[in-house]
Amino acid sequence: MQLIQLERDDWNFFCPSTGQPVFKDTGEPNASTVSGFWCHEVPDEPELLCEELQAQWAAHVAIQDAADESVDVVAFLKSVDQPALVAFEITSCGMACGPVCSTTWTVLDLS
C-alpha cells in the first residue's frame, strides 16, 4: 500500500477517486472508499477497518505485542500488499494553549 504524507491546517480532505469529501463535518465517513482510519491518540484502535484488513491488522498487533513494542501504524500500512488501497497520513497543526499537532491515517480504496 502506498503511504502519502500530508500536512494540512484544515479538514478539507477529498477522495481523489470520487471527488467527495472523505468525512462529514461530524467526523463520520462520507466517501464510500474509506477502508480504515487511525488516530495518533489511540493507534491500537482503528475505526472503519474493512473486512479484508482486519485479519492483517490483528496479526500485526499480535507480533508487536509479542515483541513488547507499541503499535506501529505506519509499518502496518507499508506492509499491506494491496495496490488499490492508498493510505493518507495527515498531520494537522494549530494553536490551543500552545502549539498542538495531531496525525491521522486514512485508508481509501481507489479501485
| Average pLDDT over all residues of the chain | 93
Query: Could you tell me the pLDDT band of residue 86, with boundaries at 50, 70 and 90?
Result: very high
Mean pLDDT of 82-104: 89
Domains of the chain by residue range: 2-109
Under DSSP, is residue 72 helix (H, G, I), strand (E, B) or coil?
coil
Q: Percentage of the chain with pLDDT > 90?
A: 82
Q: What is the largest CA-CA distance in the chain?
A: 42
Query: Could you tell me the pLDDT band of residue 56, with boundaries at 50, 70 and 90?
Result: very high
* Strand partners of residue 37: 47, 106
Mean pLDDT of 65-73: 93
Give the CA distances from residue 97 to residues 1, 75, 100, in Å, rounded to whole numbers and listed in that order: 37, 32, 8
CA-nearest of 103, 61, 45, 55 to 82 is: 55
Is the per-residue pLDDT at 11 higher than 80?
no
For the entire predicted model, the pTM comes to: 0.90
Alpha helix positions (H), the chain = 51-66, 73-79
